[in-house]
Structure 1
Amino acid sequence: MNHIKSRKHPTALVRTSQGMGAAAAVSMAAFAAPAMAQTTAAPQRLPEVRVQTNADVPYKADSVALPKFTQPLVDTPQTITVIRKEIMEQQVATTLTEALRNTPGITLQLGENGNTQTGDSIFMRGFDTSGSIFVDGIRDLGNISRDVFNIEQVEVVKGPSGSDNGRGTSSGYINLVSKTPGLEAFNNGSVSAGTDNRLRATADLNKPLDLSIPGSALRLNLMAQDFGTPGRDYVKSKRVGFAPSIAFGLGTPTRTYFNYLYIDQNNRPDGGVPTYGLPGYIGARGPRVDSENYYGSRSDYDDIKLHMFTARFEHDFAPGTTLRNTTRLGNTEQDYVLTGVNAVTATAANPAAWTVARSRQGRHQTNSIFTNQTNLTTEFQTGALKHSLSTGVELIYERQNQTNGSVVGPAQAAANLYAPSVNDVFRPLTTTGAYTRGSTLSAAAYAFDTIKLSEQWLINGGLRFERFNTETNGATYTAAAGATPASLAQNPQLKVNDNLTSWKLGTVFKPAPNGSVYVTVSNSYQPPGGTNFQLGTGTNNNNPALALTPQKGSNVELGTKWDLLDGKLATTAAIYRAENKNELVSDGLTPATFNQIGKRRVDGVELGAVGQITPALNISAGFAYMDPKIIQGVVNGANANQGGVIVFSPRRTFTSWVTYRLPIGLTIGGGVRYVSPTATSSNQVVTSGVTGTQDYTVVDALLSYPVSKNVSLQLNVNNLFDKNYIASVNNGRSRYIPGVSRNALLTANLKF
């Protein structure tokens, strides 16, 4: 790998939205041309392979939609969980976070005061995975909550993603598969109403089109939601979604898809509840606060607008040989104002007079992406060896612009700890002109091959070479001090570029056609600025002058997979070791010196079962055990953490969802989720805040009955026993988001 180069002068490379739009238009025309060339003559019919599933097994998927995986899941040497829409619909899951409850080993983080997480803040296998979320194999950026109304299934790929997607951590990644048109006409919809002022309606409409182009179809997905949050005052989620898609050439060798996704969210965000008084809180002298308390203003908001256009072209040259080209132009804009809580003042004799400090924070952030991917999958033979090859190239331009709002002048007044009021006077936020702009331009080539040595032995390998260039520029605001006027200083333009070579290699032994035993090794890289495009000039951040090498993730996994009960039940078991090294850590001295010697390690075991036990009994269950450690970290001072645990990484997690259909047509079911205690600090000595979260078990229940062939009613009761628990906590351990309280949703599912 070449050494990272640094340049602080402006670059001549310019990307504009106009240019991106023009490129998208050219790509659309190129994609449409082959489809338009089709005539009404009988085309050559070849089977289209997308998401392989058994129609009689609603929970189980046999493969993933990503073309980089060339084999069925049972023969893929990697832990992969597929969450299908049938489970999400039964659970009335509305967001990605809710869908991910169906896989173990995933937790959430709240973030820090100036960077409160308002979206999918996901920790997986001990590492932050928020920057490794993909839609149809393309990275999806933005600190937003993703709705699943237009999602066919969620694919959770565990282990380093470097060879699959480029930069990333050793935990893995999450891929959302969008709904696409089909040749079967249907009209589906749902209307939900529930406790805590919750209303939601969705529609999924598909219609074949009688056009001169064979295999034409149109699909339209719609969503409208107005939700309160169970157990939280004033917090709400309001959104609408619109997702039309059209396809040409379905069932023919040449297929073209055009998809558009629009989502508009108008939410009131949650700044959290003080951890004061919780079990494990250091220095607590009073009772815990009511978890329903809201410390913000009615005027707090989190507004999000998402536009995503995708064009995909596919052509089958021969059975087993397919060329795909995908172009995407996407933009996400987030504008929010949020009130967070901080330190508690408990000096008065009467607890009714205790207060908690509040911070007002705001941000306007846009994330844009323009990408073009070309992939070729084929099968061929060299001598006695059979190959399943997936190869391609990717060009990706990603950009993020961010401006922050802050309180100028007197700070926000504290709130009463036990009786906060939304009628307090809240300080306005001012945009000072400070901003940060960052972008990454990358080009990559990759190849994956599964070599079949015999009926019992397979070798699976992947290699990706990527060249990237990251740039950051911005301005910093300095507040007035005395008679000195405020200033806005332009920051130097920073730049890093490098080559990344990522790979994975696995060996599969098949003792029987329905089972496999495998071992795999893989790696990934996270270069400076790779998660947020923000480079810096300090000694403890992504400073190009430090000539930092990318953080390196690695994973070794030994596992087995079996399709049982005539292929209707998939079972998996794996043990693994995931490491992340080259992290920048302090020596703990004063003044501090930072070196790239940090290393974290997670040893773990993961078990899973999904599918159908009998025609009436369906199950999805998973268990994960993790041993997360900091192998090399800070060794001196108050923040010494070497030998400590990795935060937000519970040792044991369990998830399950089971349904049983009675002879009278009534379906009963539910799920149990368990999370063991979780550390909130890696320090060997913790002197403030809550030291960790307690374990918890949450039980959900389901009743469903088909009133007619067109209408079924469904009742979901979540957190049946009203368990109080911490869903996420901030880095400073001063505030947390409570888990939702007991709640109910009644849904009418419509099919015509």
Structure 2
Amino acid sequence: MKHSSVQKPKSLRQTEDLAFASMKKTSLALGISGAILLPLLPTMAVAQEVSALQKDKQKLQEVEVLGKRAESNPNVEVGAPYKAKSSADSRHTRPLAETPQTIAVLTRSALDDSGLTDLKQVLGAQPGITLGTGENGNAFGDRYIIRGQEARSDVFVDGLRDPGMSTRESFAIEQLEISKGPNSSFAGRGTAGGAINAITKQATLDHDFERVSVGVGSDSQRRVTADINKGFGENFALRGNILYGKEDVPDRSPSSRSRQGVALSGLYEASKDLSVTLDYYGLRTKDKAPDLGYYLVGTVPDRVPAKNVPVYGQANDFLKSELDTVTARVNWTLAPEVKLTSLTRYGKSNNSYVTTGASSATRYDGATGTAYTTGVLDGGHTGWQDIDYFAHQSNLRMDTMLAGVKHEFIFGAEYADHKVVSGNFSVTNTGTFNCKTTAGKGANNGYCFTDSSGVAVSNLTNLAGRNATRLGWNQDWHIKALALTAMDTVDLTDKFTAFGGVRADRFDLNLIRRNNTTNVVTGSYAYQDTLFNGHLGLSYKITPKFIVYGSAASAQDINGGEADSGTSSGYGGAVLYQNKIAGAKPETSINYELGAKWNLLDDKLLATAALFQTQKSDVMEGANYDTVGTFNTGKNRVQGLEFGLSGNVTEDLSVQMGAAFLDSKVLASATAANVGKPLSNFAKKSFSLQAKYQLTDAFSFGTSGRHESDRCGGQPDTAAGFSATGYCSQPVPAFTVFDAFAAYRFSRRFDVRVNVLNVANKDYFTAVYRSGSFLYKGDARAVRFTLNYEM
């Protein structure tokens, strides 16, 4: 049965055709037409035609943007492309403006305009989120820190956890939802600082479209994407997205990145009450000679980033990911007030890296014994992991009247089976040593950027002649979990609304460690536990468009919950005691939040503000646990204030803006000196703004900027590293970076966009490893031209 939305294509195309016509019917064109027709037609006929054309023109001026294409995302506010009106997670039964929680949403339009493509770049530009080092920070790919809490495993795709520590791309994302604050009632284990939920592009019967984008730019950048949706009859639709991208890292060649992806979605709508969607997602990413950036030099208080560090990643180094998933979803309206949403996914991913780090050190000329300071290569860092996972989630929504009020119940069940097998590579070097690590004359045994006279190595990326061979596995991490949820949203009065949710997670964790050169098992650890978490919110409508709310929510991280960390307990790996997994309690986070949300300007603009406090207790710090009872020795607190603004400030000005003012403190620690210090990798202030102005029907331009205050590196969940005199040992300087973009639409079908990233070509740094030997450098200035064609 064909639902009413199928009738849209004709009216949408008519609107787009009229919009195209409006560009032609300018005042000048009307004047010329009148001059030509005047001698040929009676005066009255001319007057009538000009009058009719002028009325036509006035009517057409109501079209907001020339050739504005139909929006394929039903969650976006009509006429406000930067504003999402609702979450794509069906468990949020109310619009975002009425949800008692901080949820920031980036729409597809905002993502496109930004010119950012990797998820790490996108999220790194958001307030309240900082980045950590990935490789050798015990994460294989992107690493996110939300409100000071680790979130590298708290990435979800369409509401299901994505367990692979991989490089993630945005080409198939319809909108990106960032939930702030503990979120275990929705997401299960982890989510102490929040969760990231990527909503993928789905096939639709609403309208057909074929969109192709071709990009070229500086640093040999090439990027091609296509997004094609086609309906077949009244019941079936297919949608395909493809990606091909390759570029040198801006100003850091020969380091380069390549991305290839395919996302396919098929929709079968058996009736207006039942639909089934089957998706496939595949992504291949590879960084050649991956750039680990700069490093810190000097001692506190003069510890600063090194200057003009050359590209030192070795030619055979790499960082790559391969991901394949198949997802089936069912949306079934069982009765007018009863709806079942079911999601099932099977996926495999493979991630691996061989990278080279560098630092500043004193070295010696083997021939003369002369001492000098130079950049030096380290011995390399390697790892691989193979992920195999299955997950199913079903949610039943029931709207019913109880005690005279309407309840919106959600009852859910979720099962997950995630297995991660990992190992490393053996590294061999064939390059000739060119410096000595110990004082005096003698045989060289190190690799240095320069000689004792300061002359740089001519071919630094081939200095070590580094090659790697994959070894067998040294860790088998496996978790099975079953979760049950119950949620309810109820209007207590016409102004008061309450939300409540509870979740129970029963998990079974197994961890096997072995020596991958002898294949001898060195440890086998297993345990089971059940987590209970909840979320409670109460909102009050001061006006129909303005609410204030209060909420409380909890989250729990489990012992050994980070698959990439093994027994590195300071990074979320398993805490051991007497060669057994310790009986540690889950780390527990409690968040209290007071906030306000205001829908403005005919619902085209949403303003938000939130005051919150998150306290995390029973933190497993990774100390040398030698007695029972010291496993949960840490406690920390994060307090802050966040603001957000998204949508249309005027009919022509769109904004996405946010600001976060945060403060953190270690409240308890096995290391007494840590108490009172701020958390590591924590920025107290961060701002972001993206604004676009539609100057004419055809031309728009905009800018985006982001600022992060300085922060101090260290181990996750513990105090930042400070010297005895109170100076940060591994500082990341504050930065402010601006981008710019502009677009011109030549016709309904064709437009061009130019993005200039890091306009001022500023050297800035996004993350530091706790030793200071990695200081990730943000991209230098890059120019991107994108041609968009809609067939």
- What is the TM-score of this pair, normalised by structure 1? 0.87
Residue in structure 1 matched with residue 279 of structure 2 by the alignment? 259
Question: Equivalent of 1:89, from 101, 109, 112?
Answer: 112
1:289 correspondence with 2:314: no
Residue in structure 2 matched with residue 157 of structure 1 by the alignment? 179
Residue in structure 2 matched with residue 268 of structure 1 by the alignment? 288
Using the TM superposition, give the Cα deviation of residue 359 of structure 1 relative to its aligned residue in structure 2, in angstroms: 2.3
CA deviations on 1:294-345 (whole Å, 9 max, x unpaired) are: 2221111223211010001111123342111111001111132111224622
Using the TM superposition, give the Cα deviation of residue 751 of structure 1 relative to its aligned residue in structure 2, in angstroms: 1.1
Whichever residue aligns with residue 404 of structure 1, its letter is N
Question: Equivalent of 1:672, from 681, 685, 705?
Answer: 705
Structure 2 matches for 1:414-433, cutoff 5 A?
414-416=447-449, 419=456, 421-433=460-472
Structure 2 matches for 1:551-570, cutoff 5 A?
551-570=587-606
Q: Secondary structure at the match of 1:416?
A: coil
Distance 1:387 1:698 in 2: 47
Residue in structure 1 matched with residue 88 of structure 2 by the alignment? 65
Q: Secondary structure at the match of 1:296?
A: coil
CA deviations on 1:683-717 (whole Å, 9 max, x unpaired) are: 34269995312211111111111122211111111
Q: Secondary structure at the match of 2:90?
A: coil
Whichever residue aligns with residue 385 of structure 1, its letter is V
Distance 1:207 1:658 in 2: 32
1:529 correspondence with 2:565: no
Using the TM superposition, give the Cα deviation of residue 355 of structure 1 relative to its aligned residue in structure 2, in angstroms: 4.0
User: Contact conserved, 2:289 with 2:315, CA < 8 A, in 1?
Assistant: no
CA distance change for structure 1 residues 606 and 427 in 2, over 3 Å: closer, same or farther?
same
Using the TM superposition, give the Cα deviation of residue 120 of structure 1 relative to its aligned residue in structure 2, in angstroms: 1.7
Distance 1:686 1:346 in 2: 28
Using the TM superposition, give the Cα deviation of residue 593 of structure 1 relative to its aligned residue in structure 2, in angstroms: 9.4
Distance 2:324 2:621 in 1: 38
Question: Equivalent of 1:109, from 108, 132, 136?
Answer: 132
Question: Equivalent of 1:362, from 365, 382, 388?
Answer: 382
Q: Secondary structure at the match of 1:66?
A: coil
User: Contact conserved, 1:275 with 1:690, CA < 8 A, in 2?
Assistant: no
1:712 correspondence with 2:751: yes
CA distance change for structure 1 residues 112 and 224 in 2, over 3 Å: closer, same or farther?
closer
Residue in structure 1 matched with residue 648 of structure 2 by the alignment? 612
User: Contact conserved, 1:537 with 1:545, CA < 8 A, in 2?
Assistant: no
1:55 correspondence with 2:78: yes
Using the TM superposition, give the Cα deviation of residue 373 of structure 1 relative to its aligned residue in structure 2, in angstroms: 1.2
Q: Secondary structure at the match of 1:354?
A: strand
Question: Equivalent of 1:148, from 164, 170, 175?
Answer: 170
Residue in structure 1 matched with residue 529 of structure 2 by the alignment? 498
Q: Secondary structure at the match of 1:428?
A: strand
Question: Equivalent of 1:460, from 487, 499, 504?
Answer: 499
Residue in structure 2 matched with residue 326 of structure 1 by the alignment? 343
CA distance change for structure 1 residues 324 and 283 in 2, over 3 Å: closer, same or farther?
closer
Residue in structure 2 matched with residue 662 of structure 1 by the alignment? 695
Using the TM superposition, give the Cα deviation of residue 591 of structure 1 relative to its aligned residue in structure 2, in angstroms: 11
Residue in structure 1 matched with residue 32 of structure 2 by the alignment? none
1:387 correspondence with 2:418: no
Residue in structure 2 matched with residue 725 of structure 1 by the alignment? 764
Question: Equivalent of 1:340, from 334, 357, 364?
Answer: 357
User: Contact conserved, 2:712 with 2:729, CA < 8 A, in 1?
Assistant: no
Distance 2:698 2:587 in 1: 54
Residue in structure 1 matched with residue 547 of structure 2 by the alignment? 516
Distance 2:6 2:502 in 1: 30
Using the TM superposition, give the Cα deviation of residue 141 of structure 1 relative to its aligned residue in structure 2, in angstroms: 1.7
Larger radius of gyration: 2
Residue in structure 2 matched with residue 644 of structure 1 by the alignment? 677
Q: Secondary structure at the match of 1:685?
A: coil
User: Contact conserved, 2:314 with 2:466, CA < 8 A, in 1?
Assistant: no
Residue in structure 1 matched with residue 51 of structure 2 by the alignment? none
Using the TM superposition, give the Cα deviation of residue 471 of structure 1 relative to its aligned residue in structure 2, in angstroms: 0.3
Residue in structure 2 matched with residue 310 of structure 1 by the alignment? 327
Distance 1:529 1:575 in 2: 32
CA deviations on 1:149-183 (whole Å, 9 max, x unpaired) are: 11100000111121001101420100000101112
Residue in structure 1 matched with residue 50 of structure 2 by the alignment? none
User: Contact conserved, 2:300 with 2:723, CA < 8 A, in 1?
Assistant: no
Distance 1:281 1:47 in 2: 67
Q: Secondary structure at the match of 1:714?
A: strand
Distance 2:354 2:684 in 1: 35
Structure 2 matches for 1:206-245, cutoff 5 A?
206-210=229-233, 214-245=234-265
Residue in structure 1 matched with residue 721 of structure 2 by the alignment? 683
CA deviations on 1:212-270 (whole Å, 9 max, x unpaired) are: xx421010101100111113232211121111111011771100000001112232253
CA deviations on 1:612-636 (whole Å, 9 max, x unpaired) are: 0111111110000010111112435
Q: Secondary structure at the match of 1:182?
A: coil
Structure 2 matches for 1:547-626, cutoff 5 A?
547-585=583-621, 594-626=630-662
Q: Secondary structure at the match of 1:414?
A: coil
Using the TM superposition, give the Cα deviation of residue 731 of structure 1 relative to its aligned residue in structure 2, in angstroms: 1.8
- What is the TM-score of this pair, normalised by structure 2? 0.82
Q: Secondary structure at the match of 1:674?
A: strand
CA distance change for structure 1 residues 163 and 593 in 2, over 3 Å: closer, same or farther?
closer
CA distance change for structure 1 residues 588 and 130 in 2, over 3 Å: closer, same or farther?
closer
Distance 1:134 1:552 in 2: 21
1:437 correspondence with 2:437: no
Answer with 686-695 or 72-81: which moved more. 686-695
Answer with 549-558 or 259-268: which moved more. 259-268
User: Contact conserved, 2:636 with 2:666, CA < 8 A, in 1?
Assistant: yes
CA distance change for structure 1 residues 735 and 316 in 2, over 3 Å: closer, same or farther?
same
CA deviations on 1:114-136 (whole Å, 9 max, x unpaired) are: x4645221111001111100000
1:735 correspondence with 2:774: yes
Give aligned pairs, total: 694
User: Contact conserved, 1:198 with 1:226, CA < 8 A, in 2?
Assistant: yes
Residue in structure 1 matched with residue 220 of structure 2 by the alignment? 197
Distance 2:613 2:568 in 1: 34
1:695 correspondence with 2:734: yes
Distance 1:671 1:654 in 2: 11
Identity across matched positions, percent: 28
Whichever residue aligns with residue 730 of structure 1, its letter is Y
CA distance change for structure 1 residues 354 and 622 in 2, over 3 Å: closer, same or farther?
same
User: Contact conserved, 1:68 with 1:391, CA < 8 A, in 2?
Assistant: no
User: Contact conserved, 2:730 with 2:771, CA < 8 A, in 1?
Assistant: no
1:489 correspondence with 2:489: no
Whichever residue aligns with residue 497 of structure 1, its letter is Q
Distance 2:539 2:502 in 1: 18
User: Contact conserved, 2:76 with 2:107, CA < 8 A, in 1?
Assistant: no
User: Contact conserved, 1:243 with 1:260, CA < 8 A, in 2?
Assistant: yes
Residue in structure 1 matched with residue 196 of structure 2 by the alignment? 174
CA distance change for structure 1 residues 671 and 562 in 2, over 3 Å: closer, same or farther?
same
Distance 1:277 1:258 in 2: 52
CA distance change for structure 1 residues 281 and 356 in 2, over 3 Å: closer, same or farther?
farther
Residue in structure 2 matched with residue 33 of structure 1 by the alignment? none
Q: Secondary structure at the match of 1:164?
A: helix
Using the TM superposition, give the Cα deviation of residue 394 of structure 1 relative to its aligned residue in structure 2, in angstroms: 0.7
Q: Which runs of 5+ in 1 are unaligned?
A: 1-40, 478-485
CA distance change for structure 1 residues 374 and 422 in 2, over 3 Å: closer, same or farther?
same
Answer with 736-745 or 318-327: which moved more. 318-327
